Amino acid sequence: MNKIKTVEIKLKINNEDKIFSVKINDRLVDALRANGYKGIKKGCYQGSCGACTVLINGRPMNSCMIPAAAADGFEITTIEGLGESDNLHPLQESILETGGVQCGYCTPGFLISSYALLKNNPDPTMDDIKRATDGNLCRCTGYVKKLEAVERAAKKMRGEK
Amino acid sequence: MLRKLENYHRPEKLDDALRLLDECGAGARILAGGTAVMAGKNNEIKTLIDIKNTGLDKVSKRKNGVEAGAAVTIAGLLESPEIKKYCGGLVYEAAYHIASTPLRNMITLGGNITQVFPWSDLPAALLACGAELTVAGPGGVRKLLYADAVKKHPTQMIAKNEIVTGVNFPELPGYVGKFTKFSKTSFDFALLDACVAVKIKNGMFEDARFAVSAAGTLPQLLNESAALLKGVKTTDSKAVSNAVQKAVSETVFTGDKRVSVEYKKQILPVLIERLIDAAIKQNEGADAK
């Protein structure tokens, strides 16, 4: 079997410049995880479940559907870029407060999609929240608590109680 | 998963992309959003030619309609005021119902209409509005009516060394277009997509077009049934019903494990009739303004 070629890609991840050496046939999700961004989850590998969602140039996308080689020059935000364990983002705080996490596998992707929504729309309706997170499947919670968490985070970020 | 991939190129000019495609031969594949390449059969691909930097990502108003580049994402279509206004929102509605938010940020117009995936909701809208593809190749640029492109699978109507660079949505003054996707959830593949575009004047259908996708293996323009509406009064429910029933007999259906032919035959007339009603109402609203 032929040796798989490696290529160098330059990325800005969570505002830090990075250079990765990746196999030419890697998916972006695998390249990111191999380089320490384990918050991103591998799920369906078909763009269906949303576990691998990251922000690319400000927009949520499925990192399993992007060849790593094609990501050269991308600005990426992962769940690690939202908050620290001792300084949570309002979305992370809110999803804990509402009980919107059970197994937690979908949580990083769900929060990234929600983060993208709130950046552009600080006062979303419930329909806006559902539409923004329609690509993030959750098999545990039944969605209600997760969606409430986004509403709650939006209020916090607007300075409301 | 891209087992044989050896080269990745991201040209800045369309001419360079065409040259690479021609030179690299059968193992070369165009990459734009990525979903078609990553979700499809990809183990024979040796070279990826990424066209995202070749300037095909714009939507613009032209004299003869609206021109959209093949690398415009579905999100890009939804954000375009020209697409939102076009034919009463026909193309906007079809784009709105494609896949999920992350995928809409990736899937491109060109990929969605040429690959005709189960999640392709745009083809019926392109048929109903008479859209035309711009196809570039080593010999120059040609125009291909989308209705002709889907006579076989579009990938068979476009040569291996050609690239679909854009879509022209022709000016359709006075037309109202409506689209509906029938599916189990918002994110699910369509069990049936239907489109109606009508031109109504003085309470009469001057022109009508029906199109469906997901009914059979390829999207279909239903010319015979739509022609039955021409010259018919919008209040003539019997004539409308005739045209709707003809749409069912004119459509070529295939079933699968998710939905049977019998079920589709029950659903299609309901969808078309609802779309006609909605178009009449929207037209009345436009007349009242």
Query: A67 vs B75: CB contact, 8 Å cut-off?
Result: no
- Same-domain status, B140 and B44: no
- Using one digit for the tens of pLDDT, what is the confidence trace for B89-122? 999 999 999 999 999 999 999 999 999 987 799 9
Query: B10 vs A7: CB contact, 8 Å cut-off?
Result: no
Domain assignment present for residue B53? The answer is no
* Torsion of Cα atoms, A44 then B109 then A54 then A135, to 10°: -50
- Same-domain status, B277 and B221: yes
The HSE-up count of residue A36 (CA atoms within 13 Å, CB side) is 7
pTM: 0.96
- Same-domain status, B163 and B206: no
Count of structural domains, chain B: 3
Cα–Cα distance measured from residue B48 to residue B37, given in angstroms and rounded to the nearest whole number: 9
Return the residue of A nearest to B187 by Cα. Answer: A134
What's the alpha-carbon Rg for chain B, to the nearest Å?
Answer: 19
Domain assignment present for residue B12? The answer is yes
Return the residue of B nearest to A132 by Cα. Answer: B101
- pLDDT for res B197: 98
What's the rounded mean pLDDT across residues A133-139?
Answer: 96
- Same-domain status, B155 and B209: no
Cα–Cα distance measured from residue B60 to residue B65, given in angstroms and rounded to the nearest whole number: 9
| pLDDT tier for residue B289 given thresholds of 50, 70 and 90 | low
**Residues of B with Cβ-Cβ distance to A132 under 8 angstroms:** 101
- Using one digit for the tens of pLDDT, what is the confidence trace for A28-37? 999 999 999 9
The answer to whether residue B41 scores a pLDDT higher than 90 is no
Chain B residues with at least one Cβ partner in A under 8 Å = 1-3, 5-8, 10, 31, 34-35, 37-39, 48, 50, 52, 75, 99-103, 105-106, 186-187
Domain assignment present for residue B2? The answer is no
Please say which residue of B135, B152, B170 terminates a domain: B170
Domain assignment present for residue B243? The answer is yes
| pLDDT tier for residue B286 given thresholds of 50, 70 and 90 | confident
Domain assignment present for residue B35? The answer is yes
CATH number of the domain enclosing B127: 3.30.465.10
- pLDDT for res A2: 62
Query: A65 vs B2: CB contact, 8 Å cut-off?
Result: no
Please say which residue of B135, B170, B205 terminates a domain: B170
- Same-domain status, B146 and B248: no
- Same-domain status, B158 and B226: no
What's the rounded mean pLDDT across residues A67-80?
Answer: 97
Domain assignment present for residue B1? The answer is no
- Same-domain status, B179 and B197: yes
Per the DSSP assignment, residues forming a β-bridge with B192 are: B182
- Using one digit for the tens of pLDDT, what is the confidence trace for B118-173? 779 999 999 999 999 999 999 999 999 999 999 999 999 999 999 999 999 999 99
Q: Which element (helix H / strand E) includes B164? A: strand B163-170
- Same-domain status, B236 and B263: yes
- Same-domain status, B155 and B194: no
Largest CA distance in chain A: 61
Please name the residues in contact with B259: beta carbons below 8 A apart, sequence gap of 6 or more.
Answer: B191, B192
**What is the ipTM for the molecules in this complex?**
0.96
Domain assignment present for residue B27? The answer is yes
- Same-domain status, B33 and B84: no
Burial B109-138 (b: 16+ CB within 10 A, else e): bbbbbbbbbebbbbbbbbbbbbbbbbbbbe
Between helix A144-157 and helix A107-120 the angle, nearest 10°, is: 40
- Same-domain status, B269 and B191: yes
Please say which residue of B170, B202, B236 terminates a domain: B170
Q: How many CB atoms lie within 10 A of CB B22?
A: 15
- pLDDT for res B288: 65
- Same-domain status, B30 and B88: no
Structural domains of chain A in order of their starting residue, each with its CATH number: 6-81 (3.10.20.30), 90-157 (1.10.150.120)
CB pairs under 8 A between A and B: 81
Mean per-residue pLDDT of chain A: 96
CATH number of the domain enclosing B211: 3.30.390.50
| Residue-number span of the structural domain to which B17 is assigned | 7-48
Return the residue of A nearest to B5 by Cα. Answer: A25
Q: Write the DSSP assignment of B88-133 as a string of letters.
A: GGHHHHHHHTSS-HHHHTT-BHHHHHHH--TT--HHHHHHHHT-EE
The answer to whether residue A1 scores a pLDDT higher than 60 is no
The answer to whether residue B287 scores a pLDDT higher than 90 is no
Task: Give the gap in angstroms from C-alpha A137 to the nearest C-alpha of chain B.
Answer: 10
